[in-house]
Structure 1
């Protein structure tokens, strides 16, 4: 992991309180319209916004329960309910976007004496009937804390506002993002990418990371907190890796490179590929829905790469840092979010900015934008 990157994240999160203001969410807009394309995103003080992607304007805003953080959101298969990890990483909520009402709530501190937190790690079953969360529990005793082994907790979405785990299984440590595949398997990112059976708790390595045994390459390094729901229906994360020049594996002469990991959620097939030399940092990257040979990455610049040629096609300077890149379903528009309270809209081919969508409220922090069609 990169210490400087964590420092930048910490600075942005700490600065969020200064940008909150006194604005209150407005949930009075009508229900979402069938066939229309929308985007959801969260921000301080504790809001869930719905963006209409035809006009690129805020359609409605919902006030979330309890407190903000991290605000990681994913859409349920019904494209009606948004699930949000929030309240300082300690609770899961299901929000009906038509009414802005909370229809599901699960506290991750459900065991007496424990405080449970999830590091961006939750997912929704392909039929929308279950929600999965990795819980990292700490037992608070009178004079000390006990860090306990992590576990997967499975909740039924039908249990509504006071959901309790219906199943629980041991999990590997250092687990963060997860996504559910169409066959019901759960792919979990940690030291390696694991494939888990949510009925039995058994898991296996689907794609090695720390235990990568790739000749001529170092183990990959992954820093990724954004569970994109993409038009390609895959589970994608960026990684950095060193390609050595000889058997000495001298880091001083190695070529640092960027690559992407991908799990096809339709088939479960995993893949990885380098696409560029590492010349600057990107927090997120996605392939274009129009051309999967083109990779877009963002942090301090927006960059577009030819994957096969490992070549930078074009880059654009930004008004400020953005953490999260997303496309509309057709791939005709590209959205940059995270950090402050504006979403930048770009033309994916020219990398010219089209407009900024100003969000009511404050900082988005590490929020993930999700695009869907009602």
Structure 2
């Protein structure tokens, strides 16, 4: 029996990372253990959340331990484990009961590709890698495998979980093909549902929905003229409960299928969404919008992402657009690195595991 345990809601974007629809035949159960491994969890509703008879929700550590004890399990796959005491307790339980487990640490590439250019990051990676190798020799507590899109950005997890083998897999935002058939003369704005988003530290800083979306639409109207676009479409966030529709009056909105719209657009607008990584892989022109009234936490995230991916910024204030251009040379280097190494691995989780475990 193979069990996938995740600390993230069972959503379509993550199912794709596991291996698509094969997940429902490969895994005997898929467990949503968000409430077990996360502290101060906020209940979320996701439009792309999956429902299936193999999916179970477990809310306490004792319930998860009992479920594990009462089933004959060949392998536990922990997807995106969080650094909490319950995570450590559960892994210690698996080790003491000789239950094989693997870690899936699929993260890091949207915000971090420029870090490979930083000498200190390279030195820290080298030190942590040596520590992992020493620990792997002397420590008996080991994960069977650690699946990751990038050893460089997940070295901390590799050291902590001490896998017998590290296997590379695709990042969950990796595009299936970088080939574009046709580009339409449209722009898309990747909405992050900022006034209503309840996820993350920045959610504590309030943002007025009416002010935000009215300002956004004013900017998009000017941007449409500036870039000579036929239209700009707003791609709504997967977490959206459609509260934004009360304030969006002049632009078409799309729920789902953001991938296709980004792929076929001429320009991609946004703030600091992870979905901008899709635009990078398609070599799109990207503009990050800065609104002066955004909370400081949001501004900080925006400036960090635009620095790391070298995305140009446009500040919209007093009905005027002021542009901050990034280095074109660094843009090209980072995009090349992102497309050819950071985002593109080899296989999905299921395919990678099948190859190494069953030698196929």
Give your verdict on TM over 0.5.
Answer: no
Larger proportion of strand: 1
TM bin, normalised by shorter chain, reads under 0.3
What TM-score comes out, normalization by structure 1 length? 0.25
What TM-score comes out, normalization by structure 2 length? 0.26
Larger Rg, first or second structure (1 or 2): 2
Larger proportion of helix: 2
